[in-house]
Structure 1
C-alpha cells in the first residue's frame, strides 16, 4: 500500500513532530529492547517477544514522525507497519515483513494464548528488533 493510499484511507495523517518526540520514541524503542533481553534472561519467552515487538513499534513510530506522519484511527499498529512497508528503504522490507508477523503473533500472545514462544524464537525476535531499530536510527538521523 502506498503513502497516498494510506492517507486516502485515513489510517495515517500528516503531523509536524518536534525532534524531542522522535528522540523519545527512539529512546522507548531502545529501552524496550533492553527490557526484552532482561525478561528473556528471567525466562519469560512470551513477554520478551511481546516487548521486542513493542520496541519495533516505537521505532516505526519514530520513523513516521521524522517523515511527518502519524498513525490515525483504530488500528494504529497496522498503520505503522503499512507505513514502514511503503516508506522504509528497500533493504528493510524483509524486516518490515517480520515486524508484521510479530504484530500478528503479539496480538495472539496478549489476547489469546500464552506460553507458546520458544527461547530461540524470542531470541530471534530480539535480534530482528535490533536490526530494525538500527535501520530506523540511521534513517531518523539523516
Structure 2
C-alpha cells in the first residue's frame, strides 16, 4: 500500500506519463502525492548552488503545465522545488518524506547524469530506500 508517492518532474513526456500513473496509484491508495522539480542550475555563488527567481518561475510553470494534462485536483498534492543534483535531491526528498515509492520517467529532457555517467533514474533506482518505478 502506498501512503506517500514522490514524482520528479522535468517536463519530459516520460515524466508526465509517470505523473499519470502516480495519480492513479494515489487515488487507489488514498495516498499523498509530492510533485518535485529540480531546476537546472546555471550559476554558482560562494560554492553553493543558486537558483534564480526566473528558474523558480520556470519550475512552477513546468509543474503547472504537467497538471493541465493530468487532473490531480481530487488528490492531496504538494509541489516541491529543490536545488541540487537531481538524483541526490530526489533520493533525499524521498527519505525526508518517508516516501513509499518514487515514480519517475525513465529518461528525461536533460543531459544530467550521475557521477559514473548513468541516468538520473538509474542513480535514483540504485540509491533510494523505497520502491522506484520508472516509466517509458
- TM-score above 0.5: no
Quick check: which one's strand share is greater?
A: 2
Task: Give the TM-score of the pair, scaled to structure 2.
Answer: 0.30
Task: Give the TM-score of the pair, scaled to structure 1.
Answer: 0.29
